Structures are given as structure tokens and as C-alpha cells.
Amino acid sequence: MINVGIIGAGASGMMCASAIKEKVNITIIEKNNKCGKKLLLTGNGRCNYWNKDISIDKYYTNNKEVLKKIINKENQNKTFDFLSNLGIYPKIIVSYYYPYSLEGSSVNDIFLNKIKKHNILYNTNVISIKKEANKFIVITNNGKYLFDKLIIATGSKAYPKTGSNGDGYIFAERFGHTIISVKPSLTALQTSFNLNNIAGVRSDVKLSLYHNNVLIKEERGQIQFTKEYISGICVFNLSNIIVRNNFDNYNIKINFLPDIDNVKSFLIKRKDTIYNMLNTIINTKIINLFLNILKQDKDTLYDNLSIEEKDKLVQMLTNFDLKIIGSQDFNSAQVCSGGISLKEINANTMESKLIDGLYFTGEVLDVDGICGGFNLAFAFITGFLVALDINRH
């Protein structure tokens, strides 16, 4: 019987342990006092674990050809079937898959029930890993362990409160693996514009991301303003691109009236003050901001504006321009961009091309998806692929 070690009892680690056949002796090393700490928080506790449209354009990586092989349709179907056979029945909302209970705890419980027969070491930190005579020697604060095969499922550096502090990158680097620069992703973005006057406002908008004045991507959804940052799923889904490129001359333009085709004609037809014309359409804090920029008051009639002022108002309503200069840190990020280079990973098995018997799964790899269940799906697929390979030996 071979001995397999799994470092990390998050989504990919638990999936791997669940799918490995009983002929294998499994030890799971978890630094927290429980499994699935981050899984329990996913989707505001509802656990958006899959998506109807898992495709390459929903992910970012430095090696899309390898990623295509990992998330191919066959691997998706096999992984999803396994999740279903475990007992995870989906509630599908648009294209998002949640457990029918809408409770992440129910998904975690299913995994825990499956892996409870294995040796789970809680509150255990890995201090060092090396390989000698075809054995992985893992030194922890609770002793030394020897494994024939070792799976690094430690997660990224995102949201370190859940135990993700970047250990996996260190372990991989010591084995000679290349680490693509790791940065917070799916996170709020900092702008050079003073947002104090609209802090706390939420608005349904269309966002357009520009790089060097060239349109890159558009998103629809609810934006949230804080004193320094713009946030919300639509913002998060643009953050992947920006952080991977070091905030190099990126702007986001906000259309506050995305469902009105011709805003100028719309305004001309509404004979009233600017405030009254917009009062039932846009949050009053945003209206007041625009009035301040125009140097007008609440009683100013739209018809009394100059042509230039009318054009400026339309511009602010449909293309409010914000220069992006930074993001929130790892403490607030949902995932990370960067990680272990896919060039050094076997796409069929997730085994290292550099070290036999060493595997990597989930967020520790140079893959990050947009919001919508894509990152959990990647974690499950990679964990499942490792299990399939170990089951062949």
C-alpha cells in the first residue's frame, strides 16, 4: 500500500482525498482546526461550486494551452459526475451552480464524511519538505512523515485568515519550480479619483476597461463605492487583467445608464432641473457629485446649461472615467493571479514535470478565474485528476 500525503484540506485537497481509492494510505495535513475553511465562505456561504460555461475565456494564466487540456470537456464531465455521485445536487441560478441547500456547509459536510476515514492532522504546519530515496520527507510541528507521493493543495495567498499564506509557492520553489508573480485578484480596485462623496453607494452599471485608451473588456453588474475603492463582481471580473499587468495605464469608464440607448435625447425630452430629471434614476449622492463637478446647484435647469456642460453631463452619465492605480491586498482578495507555472505541470495528471510523485492542485497554480464558480471548479478538476493518476498505480 502506497502512502500519499496531501498538504491542505481545502476544496482541491478534499476532492483529491475523496476520489482516491481505498487501496491507498492517505494522510491529510491541515494547518487549521477544521477542513474547508475557505470553501465555507465561498459565494457568501452559499458555495457557488460550478458553472454551466466552464471555458478558457473565463480564466487567466500564462499558459492557456496547458489550461485548455486541464479543463477539457471530458475532465469537466468526469469531475462533475463525481461531485453529483457524492451527493451534491445543484440549484442552478442563471449559469451558477450552488448546492440545492444553498449552504456551503452541506458541501463541506459531504467531503468530510467521505474523508473522515483518513488520517487528518489538524493544527499542523509543514516546516520543510525534501525528497530522498524516492520518499518525500515532510517535517511538521507535530512530527516527521514519509510519503511515496505528495500533493500540494495549499491554496494561494488570498484571504490568509483561512490559512492561505503562500506556503505552497515556497515548497514548489524549493523543488525548482517557477513561480509566476503572485498578486491579489478578484478584489476591489483603487482609483485616483476622490470617492468620499459617493462612498457607500451601489449602482447597476456597465463598466468598460481601457488600456492605453483601447477597449479591452466590458462587464455589467452592481458597482459599490468606498472611500478609496470600487468594488462588486463586475469590478472583480476586471481586476484579473489589471493586476496581472501591474496597473499599467488602465482606466475604467462607468455607464450609469446602460439601458438607455441615447442619453442625450432622453435628457432633452425631460424638461426639468438636472436633479429632478435624474432623481428616480441615479443615486442622489452621484447626482450631487455631478452637480459639483458642473458647478451647478439642485435648482439648475438642464435647458440652462451650455452645450459644453450638457455634453459633459452626458459624458459623466455614460463614460465616467476612473484611472486605476492599485487594488486591495491579499487580505481582501478572493483569489490570486500568478503561481506555479503550468509549463512545469503534466496537464493530464497535475504531476510535476520536475519531481516524480509531486502534484499540485487548485489555487497554488498560475490560474485564476472570474467570479461564478470557475475557481472552485478548477480546484475540483485538478484534485480529481490527481486522484485518477494515483488510482492507476
Q: How far apart are CA 149 and CA 217, in angstroms?
A: 42
pLDDT computed for residue 163 by the predictor: 87
Percent of the chain with pLDDT over 90: 94
Q: What is the mean pLDDT of residues 373-390?
A: 98
Grid cell listed for 35: 477542513
**What is the number of alpha carbons within 13 Å of residue 65 lying toward its C-beta?**
2
Instruction: Tell me which CATH code domain 3-184+338-392 carries.
Output: 3.50.50.60
The backbone torsions φ and ψ at residue 221, rounded to the nearest 5 degrees and listed phi first, read: 160, -170
Query: Could you read off the pLDDT of 62-95 as tens digits, one per residue?
Result: 999 999 999 999 999 999 999 999 999 999 999 9
Query: Could you read off the pLDDT of 156-194 as tens digits, one per residue?
Result: 999 998 888 999 999 999 999 999 999 999 999 999 999
Q: How far apart are CA 98 and CA 354, in angstroms?
A: 37
- pLDDT band for position 215 (cuts 50, 70, 90): very high
Q: If you average pLDDT over every residue of the chain, what do you get?
A: 96
Q: In the chain, where are the structural domains located?
A: 3-184+338-392, 189-327
160 vs 149 pLDDT, higher one: 149
pLDDT computed for residue 269 by the predictor: 87
**Distant-in-sequence, close-in-space partners of 314: CB < 8 Å, separation ≥ 6:** 263, 264, 267
- pLDDT band for position 271 (cuts 50, 70, 90): confident
Query: Could you read off the pLDDT of 220-250 as tens digits, one per residue?
Result: 999 999 999 999 999 999 999 999 998 989 9
What's the DSSP call for residue 304?
Answer: G
